[in-house]
Chains A and B, each alone.
Chain A
Amino acid sequence: MTNEAPAMEQLIGREYEHGFITDVESETLPPGLNEDVIRHISGKKNEPAFMLEWRLRAYNQWLTMVAPDWAKLRHPPLDLQAISYYSAPKGGGKKLESLDEVDPEILETYKKLGIPLEEQKLLANVAVDAVFDSVSVVTTFKKTLAKAGVIFCSISEAVQEHPELVQQYLGSVVSQKDNYFAALNAAVFSDGTFVYIPKGVRCPMELSTYFRINQANTGQFERTLIIAEAGSHVSYLEGCTAPSRDENQLHAAVVELIALEDATIKYSTVQNWYPGDREGRGGIYNFVTKRGDCRGDRSRISWTQVETGSAITWKYPSCILRGNDSIGEFYSVAVTRGMQQADTGTKMIHIGRNTSSTIVSKGISAVQGSNAYRGLVRVGQKAANARNHTQCDSLLIGDQCSAHTYPYIEVRNPSAKVEHEATTSKIGEDQLFYCRQRGLSAEEAIALIVNGFCKEVFKELPLEFAAEAQKLLNVTLEGAVG
């Protein structure tokens, strides 16, 4: 037949949409890492002494550590002396009173990305913190939120204005010495988001942070800290993109969530960092430590992630179920195509009594993508009646990709109930032919299968973003068709 269908490869090999570079004057530190660099970052941010000491302790800890290599990932050794640890648009770092003071080029960038920062143009119910390279450029709806007592600002601002909260909670979930990248982040983190929800408050709008890496040869080390006091409720979403560059760039973030009694934190991520080109050149190394602490009884932390970008993704958003009757949830869609690699999953650490956790992981591998689910469910001695249900599904598109599952289960209490289910399925030429014979195009067929596969996770996303995520996934997998 001459009527060649679009080959699998073409279908899923579409170009990255957000790869443009913003031409903005930046102040970037020369590459390299030493104590002076840390002092410089801390000084730039006008930090109190405790913060600098904290950073230096982390740095000294980091010097004694080695990069982990146990995950199923391949990459050349990282040269951490070759990247710059601080880059800010000129004039950044100082506090801006209104949007008019933000460089128009940067506003334009966010507009192109579909995130207008003018409050009247934003989704009515979503407040945004926009982080550009190492600094937060603007946070919207601050006043509306302040009325409810909610603090939503950049972490730099929080260090200055709410040092007592920062000092009390920073590093209390992910300690400085937790792992190599967490220690590095603690030493050099430049910006990120801070959220504080007071007792009994239901946050009146969705909170979100939009991360953009722009400068070449820089790393982004953001730090996010969310504290939900007793009986409060918050839903938070982060989105990420970066320009297409030939070099790899490091993104080593740390996210800490603290939920006190009866509090609920819902944390959603739509990650679309630049994945590198078809040959595997460039792309973001997304090495992230995310952990939530269900510190209070009946607290609940829910992670939802849609991971479509990055050359390499290494992250395990976890829940420490310390409070009795606390609940941890992890819903994940991870897509790898081209030469992308992902090693992602979660840890559910059951400590309190009657704790329960749910894990739903959907891995999609296409072309030569490699996708690994790695998850730990640990039930401690005192965690009577702990419950876990894990559902771990892999979808393979084409015949050169791979999916791997590494579930670790450790149970030290005889009353625990732990379930693990796993499936692997494939979209091959057979499936596409079947759908096309019934009148669907190949693109429609893939979208149908992928959306069916992911629907359990998409329904967990905030309504405003579910459609967005579905669309992103479809373009990621379908060529130019949306």
Chain B
Amino acid sequence: MLSIKNLHAGVDNTPILKGLNLEIGAGEVHAIMGPNGSGKSTLAHVLTGRDGYQVSAGDVLFNNELINDFTVEQRAHLGIFLAMQYPVELPGVNNMIFLKESLNRILQARNEAPLDAVGFIKRVNEVARKVNMDPALLKRNVNSGFSGGEKKRNEIFQMALLEPKLAILDETDSGLDIDALRIVSEGVNALRDRSRSMIIVTHYQRLLDYIEPDFVHVLAGGRIIRSGDKTLALELEDKGYSWLLDEVAA
């Protein structure tokens, strides 16, 4: 599904990722952990193609296609979705109108027929039930006046609606209380699927109690220094990162 080879990337000419390798198969859930400033969010944004992030070397292949030069929207059309750490407000834009535009663009890219208003509303209601989203939020403007938890839930709702092939969750757990964390995680779990891969970027093991990953990677100094299964996350929770960093340095 996704293959990252010797990726070097940075922001404003500051190198951040320094030779990162990662293979993600269809249906797999990978957690990326690591200390502050290790490049977790940079990786998430580089994969979406965001402007301002420069790739200086290496390849990103998505379903065997080299996507280094693809724009943000082209990647979105391929089925790459980023649930953002800080979802922005879109002033004056109604959530339903935004979602309809967005869904229809993506359906078009998949050579599927766009939905009319009736079909769209039906779809929205189904998805809202599936991820336990309050339909009242959908009638408001995109993220405007939403609480932190509501914004994150809106992200998961959009992910469910757009049915991406690769979902990247960038610190979705940050700023959530325990109840919200549980609801968001249930939403994510409902979307686990044999054809959908996920990358879960997080600081804390806590989220992984709810969303059980197939693989856990530790990112430090712009590279993956250790990979393992979910027990690695527990070990990190217990011992922190320093032992691992020392071990790598040794």
Contact = CB atoms under 8 A, between A and B. Distances in A.
Interface string B19-54: 000000000000000000000000000101111111
Contacts of A3: 49, 51, 69-72, 74
A435 B71 CA distance: 13
A425 B93 CA distance: 12
Contact of A434 (B90, B97, B105): B90
A149 B62 CA distance: 71
A385 B91 CA distance: 34
B45 to A, nearest CB: 9
Interface stretch (A139-147, A191-199, A346-354, A440-448): A440-448
B162 interface: yes
Interface in A1-19: 1-5
Given A439-B109, A444-B101, A449-B91, A1 B141 contact: no
A453 B92 CA distance: 5
A168 interface: no
Nearest to A435: B90
A426 B51 CA distance: 18
A436 to B, nearest CB: 4
A91 B80 CA distance: 65
Contacts of B50: 1, 433, 437
Contacts of A1: 46, 49-55, 68-69
Interface in A384-406: 395
B202 to A, nearest CB: 20
A277 B76 CA distance: 36
Given A431-B90, A449-B90, A437 B82 contact: yes
Interface residues of B, number: 39
Given A434-B88, A438-B105, A438-B158, 16 more contacts: A1-B46, A1-B49, A2-B55, A3-B70, A427-B91, A429-B52, A433-B72, A434-B90, A437-B81, A438-B102, A438-B106, A439-B109, A448-B90, A448-B93, A452-B91, A453-B92
A423 B141 CA distance: 14
A439 B55 contact: no
B69 A440 contact: no
A3 B89 CA distance: 25
Most A CB within 10 A of own CB, among B46, B84, B101, B158: B101
Interface string B54-97: 11000000000000111111101100011010011111111001
Nearest to B70: A3
B46 A439 contact: no
A448 B97 contact: yes
B74 to A, nearest CB: 8
Nearest to B9: A1
A424 to B, nearest CB: 9
Given A434-B88, A449-B90, A439 B73 contact: yes
A425 B92 CA distance: 9
Contacts of A440: 73, 101-102, 105
B48 A437 contact: yes
B92 A452 contact: yes
A76 B91 CA distance: 36
Interface of B, secondary structure class, is mixed
Given A1-B53, A434-B87, A452-B141, A439 B92 contact: no
A439 B102 contact: yes
A437 B98 contact: no
Contacts of A36: none
Given A1-B54, A2-B68, A429-B51, A437 B76 contact: yes
Contacts of B88: 430-431, 434
Contacts of A434: 84, 87-88, 90
30 contacts: A1-B46, A1-B50, A1-B51, A1-B52, A2-B68, A3-B71, A3-B74, A395-B91, A395-B92, A423-B91, A430-B88, A434-B87, A434-B90, A435-B90, A435-B98, A435-B102, A437-B82, A438-B98, A438-B102, A438-B105, A438-B162, A439-B77, A439-B106, A444-B101, A448-B93, A448-B98, A449-B91, A449-B93, A452-B92, A453-B91
Contacts of B77: 439
Nearest to A434: B88
A309 B241 CA distance: 59
A78 B105 CA distance: 50
Nearest to A4: B51
A444 B105 CA distance: 10
A5 B87 contact: no
A449 to B, nearest CB: 6
A40 B126 CA distance: 75
A223 to B, nearest CB: 37
A434 B106 CA distance: 14
B94 A452 contact: yes
Nearest to B45: A433
A3 B60 CA distance: 14
Most B CB within 10 A of own CB, among A3, A449, A452: A3
